[in-house]
Amino acid sequence: MLIVQKYGGTSVGTLERIRAVADRVIESKQNGNDLVVVVSAMSGETNKLIEYAEFFTKTPSQAEMDILLSAGERVTSALLAIALNELGFPSVAMSGRQAGIITDGFHTKARINHIDTTFIKEALDNGKIVVVAGFQGVTKEGRVTTLGRGGSDLSAVAIAGALEADLCEIFTDVDGVYTTDPRIEPKAKKLDKISYDEMLELASLGAKVLQNRSVELAKKLNVNLITRSSFNKNEGTLITKEENIMEQAIVSGIALDKNQARITLRGVVDKPGIAASIFKKLADNNINVDMIIQNVGVDGTTNLGFTVPQNELEFAKKIMEELQSSEKLEYDNDIVKVSIVGVGMKSHSGVAAMAFSALANENINIEMISTSEIKISMVIQAKYGELAVRALHKAYRLDK
Ligand code: ADP
Ligand code: ASP
Ligand code: MG
């Protein structure tokens, strides 16, 4: 089989762990598989590099950020290849550029346009284990880009898709996808299978066990995706088509997104075109606006509230203050978004009501709500985030 394996930050967090990864890679190679291994930066490394840049400015130039951040993954890819070679298994390390990962030019969250697999295939044909630095690519003009936080998952899925690999295994520090983050609710249960759509929602809503764009791509390219632990041999979770899952739960999981901030614009003139001008400008700058609430207007003016990722707040502020006078603007970093996800919601009523009463019972005020066919999201005060997750987990009996 041709297998793409990806090892996350904790799994390559120390030199000893990199050696343990080498052993695991070798085991799969000895079972007769061809292997492409994608690695993340050692845990904490990317954050450390971001802090270095923030010593100088809160809004560093994005192209330079990409050169900086891509270095973390290159370190691990080289170390793992060195370890494998030393253990007698010919291996070659590749940066995103060498691996042929061509992206668009949106620095710090580039999209992969195309993968030129020539170099990878050549190395595989020569019997080598290919170790690719995750999270990065290069534009067609040759500028280094990164793929957004958690982007090594995307590298792995994209390579698996391009090579038509038989399997893409995401090795991480938990046994698979759980009904909620097991660090928040120890009673969370591991799921054997989950549909692409549910996983995509959970990932988009804060469950960082898989990066959302990697799930989106896995669905599109029909990649066989498994997440499992790099620390044990347990089975893991298969992410697959909805029709492959026999029994659908009404609610499959709960997600908590702490990377949220709210911008409120007070006293905007209630006339056509205002929202359009604001959201167009934010979109042009590639800022992901999420929940939007506009109040009923009074005396010709209204309030407009929306959320953006916390790490994009500084950029969003800059843009908003070009459009509106700053006394009308308010920022709130002290919020989180808690969400419930399940395809079974499509055919059941009362799911939302149950969520609202679960939070009410804990005296948690819901500040914003948004829903789709398979999810309900609520913005609440940050300090209640984990309590809300546990309350919802219990209300939907996910611990049973
Ligand atoms: P890696 O470094 O391997 O990419 P991440 O830290 O990005 O790992 O993702 C794994 C983490 O995701 C787990 O340690 C866990 O705390 C968190 N997580 C959040 N939601 C879930 C969930 N529903 N199931 C499993 N893990 C989750
Ligand atoms: N190192 C990058 C991050 O921390 C990418 C990844 O780990 O997937 O976001
Ligand atoms: Mg990750």
What number does the ligand 1 atom closest to the CA of 10 have?
Answer: 2
Q: By the 8 A CB rule, do 241 and 184 touch?
A: no
How many other C-beta atoms are found inside a 10 Å radius of the C-beta of residue 87?
A: 13
% pLDDT > 90, the chain: 84
Give the residue, out of 7, 38, 46, 136, with the most ligand 2 atoms within 8 A of its beta carbon, to mutate for a pocket test: 46
Q: Indicate if ligand 2 lies below 6 Å from the C-beta of 46.
A: yes
Q: How far apart are CA 212 and CA 154, in angstroms?
A: 8
The CATH homologous superfamily for domain 2-173 is: Acetylglutamate kinase-like (3.40.1160.10)
What number does the ligand 1 atom closest to the CA of 8 have?
Answer: 3
Listed in sequence order, the residues at least 6 apart from 302 whose beta carbon sits closer than 8 Å to its beta carbon are 267, 268, 270, 294, 295, 296
**What's the pLDDT score for residue 265?**
92
| Mean pLDDT score, 333-346 | 94
**Of the candidates 96, 157, 87, 98, which has an alpha carbon nearest to the alpha carbon of residue 123?**
98
Distance 171 CA to ligand 3 centre (A): 10
- Give DSSP secondary structure letters for 103-159: E-S-TTS--EEEE--HHHHHHHHTTPEEEEE-SEEEETT--EEE--TTTHHHHHHHH
Q: Which two tokens stand for residue 36?
A: 């492409």
**What's the pLDDT score for residue 246?**
75
Give the residue, out of 11, 51, 73, with the most ligand 2 atoms within 8 A of its beta carbon, to mutate for a pocket test: 73
Ligand nearest to the CA of 208: 1
Q: Indicate if ligand 1 lies below 6 Å from the C-beta of 227.
A: no
Residue boundaries of the structural domains of the chain: 2-173, 261-332
Q: Could you tell me which residues are beta bridge partners of residue 184?
A: none
Q: By the 8 A CB rule, do 112 and 147 touch?
A: yes
Q: Which CATH class is domain 261-332?
A: alpha beta
**Of the candidates 274, 217, 209, which has an alpha carbon nearest to the alpha carbon of residue 236?**
209
Q: Indicate if ligand 1 lies below 6 Å from the C-beta of 10.
A: yes
Ligand nearest to the CA of 151: 2
**What's the pLDDT score for residue 302?**
87
Q: How many CA atoms lie within 13 A of 225 on its CB side?
A: 34
Q: Are strands 129-133 and 112-115 parallel, antiparallel or unpaired?
A: unpaired
**What's the pLDDT score for residue 297?**
76
Please tell me which residue, 233 or 302, carries the higher pLDDT value: 233
What number does the ligand 2 atom closest to the CA of 154 have?
Answer: 8
Helix spans in the chain (H): 15-30, 45-54, 62-86, 118-125, 152-163, 196-204, 212-221, 274-284, 313-323, 351-361, 385-395
Q: Indicate if ligand 1 lies below 6 Å from the C-beta of 189.
A: no
| Length, in residues, of the chain | 400
Distance 24 CA to ligand 2 centre (A): 21
DSSP 8-state symbol, 382: G
Per residue in 38-49, pLDDT (tens digit) is 999 999 999 999
AA identity, residue 220: K
> Can you give 291-315 as a three-state secondary structure string?
CEEECCCECCEEEEEEEEEHHHHHH
CA-proximal residue: ligand 1, atom 15 (nearest)? 181
Give the residue, out of 149, 155, 171, 311, with the most ligand 2 atoms within 8 A of its beta carbon, to mutate for a pocket test: 149
Q: Indicate if ligand 2 lies below 6 Å from the C-beta of 393.
A: no
- What's the burial of 312, exposed, middle or buried (CB within 10 Å: 0-12/13-18/19+)? buried
Per residue in 175-210, pLDDT (tens digit) is 999 999 999 999 999 999 999 999 999 999 999 999
Q: Indicate if ligand 1 lies below 6 Å from the C-beta of 208.
A: yes
**Of the candidates 211, 222, 207, which has an alpha carbon nearest to the alpha carbon of residue 254?**
207
Distance 151 CA to ligand 2 centre (A): 6
Q: How far apart are CA 34 and CA 1, in angstroms?
A: 6
Q: Which two tokens stand for residue 238?
A: 């298969």
Q: Indicate if ligand 1 lies below 6 Å from the C-beta of 166.
A: no
Q: How far apart are CA 256 and CA 339, in angstroms?
A: 6
**What's the pLDDT score for residue 77?**
98
pTM: 0.93
Ligand nearest to the CA of 177: 1
Q: How many CA atoms lie within 13 A of 322 on its CB side?
A: 10
Per residue in 92-124, pLDDT (tens digit) is 999 999 999 999 999 999 999 999 999 999 999
Per residue in 243-297, pLDDT (tens digit) is 888 777 789 999 999 999 999 999 888 778 888 889 999 999 989 898 998 887 7
Mean pLDDT of the chain: 95
Q: Indicate if ligand 2 lies below 6 Å from the C-beta of 135.
A: yes
What number does the ligand 1 atom closest to the CA of 202 have?
Answer: 23
